[in-house]
Amino acid sequence: MKEKIAQKAADMFIHYGFKSVTMDDIAEAMGISKKTIYAHFKNKTELVKEAVLSVYHSITCGIDHIREQYDNPIEELYEIKKFALTQLKNERSSPQYQLQKYYPDIFEMLRGMQFEKMHECTVQNIEKGIEKGVYRDDLNVEFVSRVYFMGINGIKDDTLFPLELFPKHELMEEYLEYHLRGIVTKEGLKTLEKFIKTHHDD
């Protein structure tokens, strides 16, 4: 039951925001009493933390599965982007800013975990790309990895990238292409352009 509550809360927080969803809302949506929620979580902050961790682990498991499946590093990034969009398909705005405002400690914990995971994934992706000759061999891997992380987080800022101008799927597509064009070799560019053409033909 604890896991079900955390998953339902996570869905509602992503849809409606961390501030506006109350314990009463979650209880009503699940058809249970608020007392049942408090039997598993002593307060809303504890539930927010558990919900955030639930989403984080779900996404990282999905990304790890993709990384095991795809040998081409460019294809791997496109598949991760596609997966990330399915996870956030109903996201009207970025919940991370409400999380940062109302639950700063949880936000900092999550950001640290995200950086560690993404840094590991990006470094391995770049090293694989260099080995396969699709990424330039003169890249500063640590620099590129950190800039990529900053960019992925930066485009979630709705004040800089308002949804009416930058729909989420288009924004992620643009940013991924921007990132890859800066690091691919001539050989890698052929693969990248194939993915760009395929996307535009869809």
Mean pLDDT of 119-123: 97
- The answer to the question of residue 13 being in a domain is no
Tally of structural domains, the chain: 1
98 and 19 Cβ atoms separated by less than 8 Å = yes
- The answer to the question of residue 158 being in a domain is yes
- The answer to the question of residue 37 being in a domain is no
Mean pLDDT of 9-38: 94
| Predicted TM-score (pTM) of this structure | 0.87
The least confident of 29-38, 58-67, 158-167 is 158-167
Q: How far is CA 18 from CA 6, 30, 107, in A?
A: 13, 17, 12
- The answer to the question of residue 40 being in a domain is no
pLDDT of res. 201? 55
- The answer to the question of residue 21 being in a domain is no
Residue 134's pLDDT band (cuts 50, 70, 90)? very high
The neighbouring-strand residues paired with 27 are: none
3 state SS of 128: helix
Listed residue (109, 102, 86, 92) closest to 158, CA to CA = 92
The CATH number linked to 88 is: 1.10.357.10
155-185 core/surface letters (b: 16 or more CB in 10 A; e: else): bbeeeebeeeebebeeebbebbbebbeebbb
- The answer to the question of residue 123 being in a domain is yes
- The answer to the question of residue 35 being in a domain is no
**Which structural domain range is residue 142 located in?**
49-201
Q: Answer yes or no: is pLDDT of 192 > 70.
A: yes
- The answer to the question of residue 34 being in a domain is no
Report CA Rg, the chain.
19
